[in-house]
A and B are shown apart, each in its own frame.
Chain A
């Protein structure tokens, strides 16, 4: 089982490395959306400082959702997915491995670049760490929940828009806790409580979501 997981992660990372533009597009989307908000609401520093956590988190959420459609689509199109389903490795483990690889490609770069966006929004330097940590704990949850939606909408017409309708309501707790932890920290209340809750959510999602993804893949490919 472990070699199957390692094999899938290595393969997906290698595929992403060969087509770097895909991962770069999602990251650019994140940066652009976050940069649009000051143009829309005005560049008043106090306002920007207060909306920064929410804006950066919403941008991360949208970017993560957009890249989800690619998670299983290519494998579904060329038949790899059917071979994986027929294979001996447990499907839940494979689903978790694919989701992890997807997060490494689409979610992790956002964690790294978020402090730069925080700089644009004039957030206090002490909050960079909290913001990055909240994204580090939160974006894997987004990938795990989103992967269920991606597996359910596999091969459907208008899959992208449908996926957003399925997945965005389920993202609400992550958004609230992620942005909330940064806001609590900036208000001097300490964001540890919400970060711990976010961690709990990550553990629960990591334990339960792979089953859901596996079941959804079976439903979509039968």
Chain B
């Protein structure tokens, strides 16, 4: 370690990271619980009823943060994967592995709540809208990543193979998104589209941000707990 600057690699070792992860996970879990309660209170009781969608819109407080997280976690996963390949740190691969199930869960929640929201507002559970379709493909990418890691017994090879797949996936995600978008306009599929409300009430926005923060903290807590399990398993 050099005398000056931060010791970047100090916590890169599983042994030193293990207790830190435990402490961080507890704090994040507690904060996530508090923020979830606060966010749900704002969302369900404080925020006004929507003029056009009535009470049904309130699922936005789960749906939008979950959709944000589903995309963010894939990028974070690919980031750790790339770090793991570049610096050959074992912990990075473990982090990528620990994040994948949470990412898949949020993708699934986003799809599920989206279809529940679609029924009262669009009149159908599923449309081949560009966003829905690319979210579905994102779910498949998560499943592919987890299936590949589960199929390889040697953890080192599993981490490296998964890392390469995550990087290939993250390069492809923008291409997939835009191609699905073009496909959608080409087909003139659905006349219904997600109306983005530019004049969103301030309380609605606050509720959504609070819920997004809660989901962030939840993801961090769960990923850290899972990474602790993985460290224990491999020791």
Using CB atoms and an 8 Å cutoff, list the residues of chain A in contact with chain B: 145, 148-149, 152-153, 156-159, 162, 165-166, 168-170, 172-173, 176-177, 180, 183-184, 194, 201, 208, 212, 215-216, 219-220, 222
Q: Which residues from B are CB-within-8-Å of A180?
A: 182-183, 186
| Number of cross-chain contacts by CB at 8 Å | 73
Binds A, one of B4-12, B112-120, B160-168, B216-224: B160-168
Across the interface, B168 reaches (CB within 8 A) one of A168, A170, A183, A194, namely: A170
Residue of A with least CB distance to B139: A169
Lowest 9 CB-CB distances: which A-B pairs, in order? A173-B179, A169-B140, A176-B183, A166-B144, A219-B160, A176-B179, A165-B144, A173-B175, A156-B151
How many chain-B residues does the 8 Å CB contact rule pick out?
26
Residue B176 CB within 8 A of the other chain: yes
B141 touches A169 (CB 8 A): yes
With known contacts A157-B151, A165-B147, A173-B175, A152–B165 Cβ distance under 8 A = yes
- Distance between Cα atoms of A169 and B151 in the complex (Å): 18
Residue B152 CB within 8 A of the other chain: yes
- Whole-angstrom distance between the Cβ of A152 and the nearest chain B Cβ: 5
Residue B104 CB within 8 A of the other chain: no
B151 touches A158 (CB 8 A): yes
A220 touches B157 (CB 8 A): yes
Residue B52 CB within 8 A of the other chain: no
A172 touches B182 (CB 8 A): no
Name 9 A/B residue pairs within 8 A (Cβ), A-sorted. A152-B164, A153-B148, A162-B148, A165-B147, A166-B147, A169-B140, A170-B141, A170-B176, A176-B180
